[in-house]
Amino acid sequence: MDQIFTAAFLVPLFAAGVRMGAPLVFGSVGDVLSEKTGVMNIALEGEMLIAALLSFMAAYSSGSLLAGVLVGGFAGLVSALVIAFWGISRRQDQSVVGIMFNIFALGFTNFLYRATFGVRTDRAGVEILATIKIPVLSDIPYIGEIFFQHNILVYLAFIGAVAVWFVMKYTKFGLQVTAAGENPKAAAAAGVNVVRLRYTGYMFSGFMAGIGGAFLSLGNVGTFTENMTSGRGFICLAITILSRWNPLFAVIAAFLFGTVEALQLRLQAMGADLPYQFFVALPYIVTLISLVIFGRNIRAPKDLGNVYNKESR
Amino acid sequence: MKQTPLLELKGITKTFGDFTANDSINLKVYRGEVHAVLGENGAGKSTLMNIIYGIYKPDRGDILLSGQSVKIQSPRDALRHGIGMVHQHFMLVGMYSAIENVCLMGEDSALSLTNKKKTEEKLNELKKRYGIEVDLHSPVEQLSIGMQQKVEILKLLYTGADVLIFDEPTAVLPPQECDALFDVIKNLVRQDKGVIFISHKLEEVLYISNYITVLTKGRITGQIHTEEADKETIVRMMVGEDVLPPDFAARRAVGTPGPVVLEGEGLYARDDRHVYTLQGVDIQIHAGEIVGVAGVEGNGQVELAEVLAGVRKARKGGRVKIDGQEVSTKNARAFIDNNIAYVPADRNYVGSVPDFPLYENWILRNNHPPMKGPFLDYGEIRREAENAMKSYDVRARGVEERSANLSGGNLQKFILARALEKHPKALICEYPTRGLDIKATWFVRDRILRAREAGMGVLMISGDFEELFSLADRILVLYGGKIVGEVRPETTTVRKVGMMMMGVNGHESD
Amino acid sequence: MKAIDSMRSGALLRRVGIVLLSVLAALALGAVFLIILDVNPFTAYYYLLVRPFSSLNSIGEMTIKMVPILIVGIGVSFTFQTKLSNLGGEGQICLGAIGMTLVGTSSFAQAVGGWYIPVGMLVAALFGACWAGIAGFFKTRFKASEIITTLLLNYIAVQLLSWCVYYPLRDTAGNIPQSAPVAATLPRLIDGNRMNLGLVIALVCVLVYWVVMKRTKFGYRLRVLGGSIKAATFGGISKKKYYLIVMLISGAFAGLAGSIELAGTQTRLLEGLAGSYGFDGVVASLLGMMNPLGVLLSSVLLGALSIGAETMQVRTGVSSLFLNVLEALIVLFILLGFSFFGSGSRRKSKKEKEGE
Amino acid sequence: MKKVKHVLCLLLCVCLSAMLAACGGDGDAAETNADGVRTEVSRIAILLPGYITDQSWNQGAYEGLKSLEEQGYDIAYTEDVQAADMESTFRSYCSEGYDFVIGHGVQYGDACVRVAQDYPDVYFFITGNPPAGDNLPGNIAFYDYKEYEGAFVCGALAALQSESGIIGYIGGGDNSTQASDKNAFIEGAKYADPDVDVRTVITGTFNDSSMGRETALAMIEQGVDVILQTCDETGLGAFEACEEQGVYCIGYTSDQSSLVEGDLCLTSLLVKVPEMITSQLDIIASGEFGGLENPGLKEGVIALAPFSSAVSEEVQNQVNEIAQQIMDGEIVITPNYNSQG
């Protein structure tokens, strides 16, 4: 397939990989921080879905995409707050609560969408976020097209990832985050408020997932469709592991996943002679295999998933 | 010297449900003074310290700092008020260096950039002032226990703590490091800090402190200036009566030991972090002898015990033989079938399943529990457990009791009963009396001696010199994963063994 | 699962109260949603909760839904006992259904008729076990989180099933992407009622689970592993071995559920066959707290809710997706209820611990 | 045993809450029944494979149903009915007294046949071809409309309209209708222009609009300049991409020109779902219900929406002629239900 190794094929492929990876970057970068504090955000899927709807509703009623994105982030944050109440304050099993929240979100968005928009023949839609070409950078051959001709949220995803990486590596907050996930008792003894820190991490993760959800509805299609996250939240969890809890690696892993997804669409269109089911399953197979290959000997935060109880001995 | 106390507790009471852990505790700590709090495990010392440190909230009572009443809601508050605590289990993040661990602390805003240079300078200054020598750059999990303790102390000094609480600081240290610790503490009080020193060891309390408070079952049963105190008074304060410890050393075996029952050749093993902590050990345990193993924690003694008990793989071709027959260390069940009994250090999560009732814990580490056809015969299991609990004086509401609800002493007796009930060939025990009260300790030691008298080979890992010297027939000293010396307790001294544990004077056995 | 531990303790009356209040609170909150939709909540709840039990026929329908949930729930309970989470029920059901189809449409099945069913079930269980075994193998060999791998395997299994009905297993007669019908269906228990032999098999599964967990060395070992991994090592119980075995077992159960859904209800392989049984099984196991009878009752509840939701949609127009909201609320409120009021045991234990 | 007690309390709670709910219940509505051959139905229900908000296949059915409601019929619908729930949903409608139950899609055939035998008084209707087998009950009607005829014409239109000579088809991938559409689209395109290059992608989902958008973008990169989508909500995303890139597209099921800006939506492949459903009522009235029908372009069940201004007069004529030829039987299309080529 010499068609594949041409700039005309590869450049748009990688550009699409960036585009499709961006919502995953939001989800997984947030989750990286949250998992570093010791809480796994299994509810990403549900948070994204609720945010996708609410951001669309806000953008639709206000006419402002910015308002939509902000509401999306806020919706994710509030969802996370609710889950955190169960998972951190009430010390319930985080994965059980997360799974239940995902189930809840599917029904809730259906309910809310219908209650708000009813069933209409015309389509409730908004303009999607415009593509912004970064001056100068977007003119670089190949690179410009791949990285610098996207909507604002794609850039924000990258900036967000770098910012989280910087904060985790160079600030006291970053040290505290890792300490809370490694040894919460030691962190507490050092004066860190572990519960508050875990809330912060989790809600940040919810906020990011919310922006990721807004990306789906406002960045891609300008409307909400039922269950539009289609499992992306779970992929984000896999990416978090692949990234070894490093936000920059999370960007790379998300990009990898997006590219495989983009690739399968292109291979199909080019008439590759395989059943389509194989292509549809391909990104998941790749993720599974990379988990096995790159996921070996990784060191997860020691206290990940454990309930922190201040007064326990 | 009677100025305002630096720290004063007034009527501190803390209950957990119906259980009173601290009952109206009054206590004063002055600058330049070491105030020892003495008591057995479960006497409420840790609860009290956790209250001072803001981890628990007291039900009643006041905490006064330099005469001012303060509310301490969290460790953060405590640090802000100048109270620091060196925990028994160090509160350090293992993957961080000393500098990073220190950076975690402090008042500056969370989003401020970490300034490692500045922190390092200040730490170096503190090191000089208090005479503490420690590596600031390696991840603390790679440092020795004594070093980690020093990092803890530095961390507190860095935040400007005036009151330093030491929670059983010597429990994990070899004797030489204890001396170094005492030097540090003396330096601290010389610089006008106040120190609370928690311990259950009489000698060191008498050595280091200026004032002693004795806690028993949550109440203060005695307060005395150290210069007025002697051992007998304090023991009386603790147990309320005169009790003499039995003389275990008198029961030392005489004559030649029996044949080798358990043997290890060229044993190498990795710990849970995949680090080789056991680096080639040959060991033979004869029937009818107690082999003591001494060493600073983390020098391979736990891994040695685990390999010999069959729960950790021997690597690099190391072999274990039981009665001369080689048994694969990959197969824990073979060890169980060959009747190698094991009493692990962690009673609550290794030696038992905390949520299981006692009768279910009775058949842990048992390949052939009583069966009725294909099913477990719980009737028989209960009977066995009940009988053993009677003969080992395990006090619990019954076999239905969850093992998590047992006190340390009772649980240890239960585990020992289970290990010895089948008359094993060899008994391997790790820190058998750690954290037990005096009477339970005596009971366990007596049973270990009886096991030897019944012809078992016993391997006993201990951090307690009194225990090693009074029970063991010979003591192996481990350092860096190797045996650096073998001594007979009658012919050596604690100090010599301590030197060997530090890697000094290896092989200089009497 | 700490959440569950806290539930196991406490007096009977107290727990009845907690569960009751939690369910009521969840229903009350759900009622708010219904009122917004302009639906009388009492009417809706009548169809949702009471109607499914109103006739033998609807009870029969309920069992059809309940059986796969129950069997998957039992399988998942095995993994929860060791504190592993098998969220791959959906994929394992798909694989089981494929296995059943392979046997059921073979010439062997044509020859022996209904007798192919036990063979088919065995093959289905084997297929399901292998699928879960992949996750189990990755867990034990590469330490890959079984939560993530089982979820990923679901997506792959759904495509695998789709491929099967499009290509190798497609019925040559007719133009629909589905397999040929199997040679015989599961016998029904009552004439004119859809209740079938699957119910008996499911109940046997419950019994097997109960006996294995409570009365055998194997079950004992699984529980030790779940109680404390280190205690398991101490007891000579190989973590890797039992993790793998337990994943295989739970996969086998899900595969069995797939085969019953296929031979009892669908009669041929088609897409979407696994429905939401995979996650419902997890919910049943959690709600029933891994107790055999509890899982059974939770499955009855979930089966009834799922039939009730259909009736509710028919009668009141409330989307059956509302069920998701209600199901989640019920579980979350029960967890919440126990976290607030179910901690009576801890205090007691402290006292006992110290007061020897 | 403690655990048993716990379980008992769970049971108790379920029962109590059920009873509580029952207190407020208003009891059953009267079950309907009528003996003899019925020529009239009053309560109509439909099982949908997707959501009624998809602007497409499902929404069309919903609109048909709504128009019946205005005529005084009692209607109900259930969305997203997957294989696991098909039969029980059919049964719950039957037992709730609905006398005309529709399965909206070929996949409902099997379950319907099983249910229909138990409810001979109820009329059933499947919008697709019947499952294999001889003994189909008489109370089911199948409606195997020739959607592929429309797809053929769309293929021709796309080929004629394309400047690059590359056109695309995006399918959801779930059923034989889709496969025959895809194959007829290719056939039609080749008929109009033997050199045309047709790119096809099956997304595997009908409700992931983001995926639809990316699929269309991927095609557009490869030079595709006319796209037909037949994948409901996923297709909405494809429209978004077409709009963004200024590429022509063809709508599906209903006239979707309003969903795309300007004149980019060339036409729509109309499947007159509402008419399909309403026409059955006339058939029931005539007493001739049942069996299989095969309507297509000729019968007007499949049609093209009005062309947009972007389609030249000439192309319009050519396309109309091809459509006419199909109606006249001059072009005979053999449906190919195999999704792979």
As a whole number of angstroms, the distance between CA B45 and CA B437 comes to 13
**For chain A, what is the domain count?**
1
Residue A162 within any structural domain of the chain: yes
Q: Which parts of chain B sit beneath pLDDT 50?
A: 1, 506-510
- Interface of A to B at Cβ within 8 Å reads 167, 170-176, 178-179, 182-183, 185-193, 310-311
Asked if C271 lies within 8 A of D107 by C-beta distance, the reply is yes
Q: Is the pLDDT assigned to residue D84 strictly greater than 60?
A: yes
Place of tokens 């999560």: B349
Strand order in the sheet with B276-286: B276-286, B260-270, B319-322, B325-327
Q: Pull the structure tokens for residue A124.
A: 């409730």
User: Which among A24, A154, A224, A225 is the top mutation candidate for probing chain D, defined by the most D β-carbons within 10 Å of its own β-carbon?
Assistant: A225
Query: Residues of chain D with pLDDT > 90: what percent?
Result: 32
For chains C and D, CB pairs below 8 A equal 193
Q: What is the mean pLDDT of residues C131-141?
A: 95
Residue A3 within any structural domain of the chain: no
- Out of 3.40.50.300, 3.50.50.100, 3.40.640.10, 3.40.920.10, the CATH code matching B245-339+424-510 is 3.40.50.300
- Reported as a single tens digit per residue, the pLDDT across D272-303 is 888 888 888 888 888 778 788 888 888 888 99
- Interface of A to C at Cβ within 8 Å reads 42, 86, 90-93, 95-97, 99-101, 103-104, 106-108, 110-111, 114-115, 231, 234, 237-238, 241, 275, 277-278, 280-281, 284-285, 287-288, 291-292, 295-298, 307
User: Which among A39, A41, A96, A108 is the top mutation candidate for probing chain C, defined by the most C β-carbons within 10 Å of its own β-carbon?
Assistant: A96
CA C73, C78, C81: angle at the middle one, nearest 5?
115
What pTM was computed for the model? 0.86
Asked if B352 lies within 8 A of C216 by C-beta distance, the reply is no
Q: What is the CATH code of the structural domain delimited by B7-239?
A: 3.40.50.300
- Reported as a single tens digit per residue, the pLDDT across C262-308 is 999 888 898 888 888 998 999 899 888 888 998 999 999 999 988 88
Q: What is the band of D30 on the pLDDT scale with cuts at 50, 70, 90? A: very low
Average pLDDT, chain D: 83
As a whole number of angstroms, the distance between CA D266 and CA D158 comes to 9
Q: What residues does each domain of chain C span?
A: 1-39+318-345, 62-317
As a whole number of angstroms, the distance between CA D2 and CA B375 comes to 21
The whole-number pLDDT of residue C300 equals 94
D242 Cβ contact list (under 8 Å, min separation 6): D216, D220, D227, D248, D249, D260, D264
Measured between CA atoms, the residue of chain B closest to residue C344 is B17
The whole-number pLDDT of residue A120 equals 67
Least trusted range by pLDDT, from A88-92, D146-150, D302-306: A88-92
φ, ψ for residue D240, nearest 5 deg: -55, -45
Distances (CA, A) of D72 to C174, D44, D65, D281, D285: 37, 11, 11, 13, 16
Least trusted range by pLDDT, from B210-224, C162-176, D59-73: C162-176
Q: Is the pLDDT assigned to residue C193 strictly greater than 60?
A: yes
The whole-number pLDDT of residue B118 equals 85
The whole-number pLDDT of residue B486 equals 92
- Out of 1.20.120, 1.10.8, 2.60.40, 1.10.3470, the CATH code matching C62-317 is 1.10.3470
- Reported as a single tens digit per residue, the pLDDT across C314-323 is 888 888 788 8
The whole-number pLDDT of residue C11 equals 60
**Most confident of the following: A80-94, A196-210, C8-22:** A196-210
Q: Which CATH number belongs to the domain containing residue A20 in this structure? A: 1.10.3470
Residue A194 within any structural domain of the chain: yes
Q: What residues does each domain of chain D span?
A: 43-143, 147-271+301-328
Running DSSP on this structure, what letter comes out for residue A149? Answer: E
Q: What is the mean pLDDT of residues A283-303?
A: 83
Does the beta carbon of A214 lie under 8 angstroms from any beta carbon of chain D?
Answer: no
As a whole number of angstroms, the distance between CA C127 and CA B491 comes to 68
User: What CATH architecture applies to the domain D43-143?
Assistant: 3-Layer(aba) Sandwich (3.40)
Average pLDDT, chain A: 88
Chain C contact partners (≥3 CB pairs within 8 A): A, B, D
Chain D contact partners (≥3 CB pairs within 8 A): A, C
CA distance D212 to chain A (A): 9
The whole-number pLDDT of residue B444 equals 93
- Tell the CATH superfamily of the D147-271+301-328 domain: Response regulator (3.40.50.2300)
Cα–chain-centroid distance for residue A242? Answer: 14
As a whole number of angstroms, the distance between CA C236 and CA C221 comes to 9
Residue A307 within any structural domain of the chain: no
Q: What is the CA radius of gyration of chain A?
A: 20
Q: What residues does each domain of chain B span?
A: 7-239, 245-339+424-510, 357-422
Does the beta carbon of A127 lie under 8 angstroms from any beta carbon of chain D?
Answer: no
Element of type H or E holding A219? none
Please give the residue that has the higher pLDDT: either B426 or A138.
B426
As a whole number of angstroms, the distance between CA A189 and CA C356 comes to 31
As a whole number of angstroms, the distance between CA D185 and CA D169 comes to 8
Q: What is the band of A1 on the pLDDT scale with cuts at 50, 70, 90? A: low
Q: What is the band of C355 on the pLDDT scale with cuts at 50, 70, 90? A: very low
- List, as one string, the DSSP characters of B250-302: GG---S----EEEEEEEEEEE-TTS-EEEEEEEEEEETTEEEEEE--TTSSHH
Domain containing A134 equals 9-121+128-294
